Structure 1
Amino acid sequence: MIAEASDRIIRIGLDDTDHPESGCTTASFDDLLRSIEDQVVGFRLIERRLVRLWPFAVRRTRGNGALSAIIQIPENQRNSFNSVCNEWFEGLLRETAKFPPSPVRAAPVLLTSEGQLPEEWYWDTVRGHVELEPRLQEINSLSCIIRSGDECWGAVGASAAMAWQPTEDSTWELISWRDDSMIGKQRIVSSKVVSLMEREHSETFMNRDPTADRGLIAPRTPCPVLYGIRGATEASVEAAHLWLQFRSDVEHSPRWAAHRTNQLSDDHVRGVSLGTVITLPLETKGAHSHIAAYCGGLRADLVAFSEGGPVNRLLRRLLPGDRIAWVGLTAPDGSVHLERLALVDCVPRVVARPICCGRTMRSAGAGQTLRCQFCRREAERTWVSRGIDLRALDLIGNWSEPHPSNRRHLAKPLELDAPNL
């Protein structure tokens, strides 16, 4: 559908509406769009977007996602649109004021613009910390409308979500919400049903962790979300949702919506690094493991958390001199939190002295050869060595990654892209 000359294309962004124990930005945004649809004549929703941002953001809650949408309205409905947004946001502020006390209280912002925002706003926000005041100055310079309370931290995420420009590889997530009477009760979406769903709908992915026989689509918090289905296309996630909703063993969802997302994109990291291990692994409290490597003449301190599973196990087998590749996220303390790790080449692992007559050969004395204690055969003083044993490490090619339950929303799975080394 092509916009009429008198129509306006408007971008909307929302963030920082929730609390660790209350609220849900996706549900709030759905409420807003439904209010606009009900009250603005000629409204058309072009696309919803769910954008994940920098995982180390201080004010993040749960998946650290912000919402945006592109809509179309007639020119003569602009005042009506603004009135709906104002009224809805005032109600949101009243709701967030009721949230339980928290060190970081909700500071929601609803942002609207009739122009495309600079794409670098997205890249800055998905790859690092963004200060509020400079971003607010940039937003105001573009004549965007900002609705906020006393604090407006949500402007950072809302503007980043609006500035994101999807690619042909962007994924989709359909979010379904629960009936209000069901919130707080156990969700009825079994791992078996999720497994059947992925089998029936092959373009859906990352909805289940087969290593733990656990479905990943239903959150464990008392929020309004029933489940979120991830897939390659809008049609694939909608078909999977309808398939679930026709089943008698899945909780009914009264409303749902599909969002284009930056999930599984690796936008938060800066590509593959290559280096040489220079220290032995160090294990710290909680079974987290650390190692140092040289990369391009600089030292990199690498961290593999116990939840990283295969990544942690591979790191603990490394020795100085091993050549490795990694993809990771640089933390505020400068360390690199590994999301994928690969062994490129390894130094020999000493196993034992040579074997003769079923037993290890022994030294015949200082400076002398090795000798078999049974047949008296002699051999040079050597050690038997071999490469690292990579069995039982759950590698894809040379690469290791955490099991699905422990990956970030933004991390690209090896099954979608395992770099060649």
Structure 2
Amino acid sequence: MGRSIDLIGFPRLVRLNPNIPWKTRGNGAIAIHVGIGRGEKRKIGKRKGKDFYSFISVESEDVNKNILFEIVDNVIKDNAVISDKKTNPGFVICREKPPEEIYLRGVRGILDLKKIKYVLDSIGAVYKGYKNKRGLIGATAAISWNPNDKTYELITYRHREKWGTDRYVDESSVKEMDRRFPGTFDNYDYKNKHNRIAPNSPCPVLYGIRGDNPDDLIMAKSIVVSEEYSGWLLFETNQGTDDHLQRKKITEINLFESVVTEGKVVNKPFAIKGGHVIFRIKDESGSIDCAAYEPTKEFREVIKQLEIGDFVEVYGGVRKEPFTINLEKIQVKELVKVIKKVENPICPNCGKHMKSLGKGQGYRCIKCGLKKDESFAKHEEMKRNIKTTFYEVPVCARRHLSKPLKRINHNHF
């Protein structure tokens, strides 16, 4: 970025509200802190044979904003696919951070562009938006992120001539990396045979390894066998943190939010066209449908085991049509006993099984006419094929922000 400008800390990859219908595919933004570095520095990447370093501390932030503006503007013009109807970039340069509320609203709700511009003007920021300028929202939210929880991602980048072609990332090496580095997550879906670190889109990314320790990611990269890449970079991220979730009563839930709510199951889960599984829960304030959609694969089989009266806590994003919680994970808190009739009562006079008179109407002996109520039938408690614990969607269906169970502190909400 020029001889007089240093990178301070890790560059940040910040994901925002995954439910916004006009979002980009990953709804992410990049934020970097620049200035004059001081003290120790660490390697955070490499490109075309050149190592990249960032300083842990900053000596001065006295950097010419006009120079930065020109640099960033040129980078966007040279690399953004402006012709894509969903590409609406924006960038922000500021010495004063916007309030953290901007990040929280950006990851959990909807932000208004007019308000963002007002905030940026009030802190003396310089900024530029392209086309409809919505990128300014993500850029501002990314700068305002003040992490309570964070993870890291090491991203490798393809040579430009490879963009849009099939990637080569060896699956067996990804499995080996996953085994050797348990602090990484969402690498490979063994059940569905899905190599999660390699994206499916024609983007410049070759693969990305996510984890809790940046040093682990550098070592993990050496295990992965792939096509040659042009470079790599380490990011600090909010991925896998559940920052998008808000705890709410059912009637407090709004469109496009991601929520944690709890309630009793009020109907037996059922499948609809497309293989999606639906059930409804209620609390003292109201009720709402929950869905395990087809891409969640075997997670749907867990949901099918729920019974009326089970008490659950659900995590997921809220769809518009129909108004439904799209499940990311579920905690089964209480299970009801399921009692089923296994045998009709035996007539004490005739020694023969009695005949049912209809649901809830008891039984009658067809030989002597003796009647008995439902309690005389033989009932047994059925074994439940589900436990009081957390269940999550498979790796292949996991959202960027969703915290995997291997990272979760069960008291984090």
| TM-score normalised over the length of structure 1 | 0.77
SS in structure 2 opposite 1:301? strand
* Matching of residues 39-78 of structure 1 within 5 Å: 39-73=2-36, 78=63
Corresponding residue of 1:182: 162
Aligned partner (choices 108, 122, 125) of residue 127 of structure 1: 108
* Matching of residues 29-178 of structure 1 within 5 Å: 36=1, 39-73=2-36, 78-79=63-64, 82-90=66-74, 92-93=76-77, 96=80, 99-100=83-84, 102=85, 104=86, 106-167=87-148, 169-178=149-158
Q: Is the 8 A contact 2:344 2:355 kept in 1?
A: no
Residue 155 of structure 1 aligns with an amino acid whose one-letter code is: L
Deviation sequence 1:268-308 (CA, Å, 0-9, x none): 11244321122333432212122222123321221221222
- Pair 1:55–1:349, CA change in 2 (3 A): farther
Aligned partner (choices 330, 336, 345) of residue 346 of structure 1: 336
Q: Is the 8 A contact 1:346 1:388 kept in 2?
A: no
- Pair 1:230–1:87, CA change in 2 (3 A): closer
* Matching of residues 299-378 of structure 1 within 5 Å: 299-332=287-320, 334-343=323-332, 344-350=334-340, 352-353=342-343, 362-363=353-354
Q: Is the 8 A contact 2:344 2:354 kept in 1?
A: no
Corresponding residue of 2:41: none
Looking at structure 1, the residues matched to 66 and 378 of structure 2 have their Cα atoms a distance apart, in angstroms, of 78
- Pair 1:316–1:75, CA change in 2 (3 A): closer
Looking at structure 2, the residues matched to 226 and 209 of structure 1 have their Cα atoms a distance apart, in angstroms, of 18
Residue ranges of structure 2 left out of the alignment (5+ in a row): 37-58, 248-259, 347-351
Residue 34 of structure 2 aligns with an amino acid whose one-letter code is: I
- Pair 1:352–1:327, CA change in 2 (3 A): same
SS in structure 2 opposite 1:307? helix
Looking at structure 2, the residues matched to 365 and 82 of structure 1 have their Cα atoms a distance apart, in angstroms, of 86
Looking at structure 2, the residues matched to 289 and 336 of structure 1 have their Cα atoms a distance apart, in angstroms, of 12
- Pair 1:285–1:129, CA change in 2 (3 A): farther
Give, in angstroms, the shift of residue 152 of structure 1: 1.2
Looking at structure 2, the residues matched to 336 and 76 of structure 1 have their Cα atoms a distance apart, in angstroms, of 44
Q: Is the 8 A contact 1:346 1:387 kept in 2?
A: no
Q: Is the 8 A contact 2:277 2:291 kept in 1?
A: yes
SS in structure 2 opposite 1:415? helix
Q: Is the 8 A contact 2:305 2:385 kept in 1?
A: no
Give, in angstroms, the shift of residue 311 of structure 1: 3.7
- Pair 1:408–1:402, CA change in 2 (3 A): same
Looking at structure 2, the residues matched to 314 and 240 of structure 1 have their Cα atoms a distance apart, in angstroms, of 32
- Pair 1:363–1:404, CA change in 2 (3 A): same
- Pair 1:92–1:110, CA change in 2 (3 A): same
Corresponding residue of 1:274: 262
Residue 261 of structure 2 aligns with an amino acid whose one-letter code is: S
Looking at structure 2, the residues matched to 355 and 261 of structure 1 have their Cα atoms a distance apart, in angstroms, of 63
RMSD (Å), alpha carbons: 3.1
Looking at structure 2, the residues matched to 136 and 76 of structure 1 have their Cα atoms a distance apart, in angstroms, of 23
Give, in angstroms, the shift of residue 310 of structure 1: 4.1
Corresponding residue of 1:9: none
Residue 302 of structure 2 aligns with an amino acid whose one-letter code is: L
Give, in angstroms, the shift of residue 349 of structure 1: 4.5
* Matching of residues 139-288 of structure 1 within 5 Å: 139-167=120-148, 169-244=149-224, 249-271=225-247, 272-288=260-276
Q: Is the 8 A contact 2:345 2:377 kept in 1?
A: no
Q: Is the 8 A contact 2:265 2:282 kept in 1?
A: yes
SS in structure 1 opposite 2:245? coil
Q: Number of residue pairs matched?
A: 363
Taking every aligned residue pair, what percent have the same amino acid on both sides?
26
Looking at structure 2, the residues matched to 258 and 96 of structure 1 have their Cα atoms a distance apart, in angstroms, of 21
Q: Is the 8 A contact 2:263 2:283 kept in 1?
A: yes
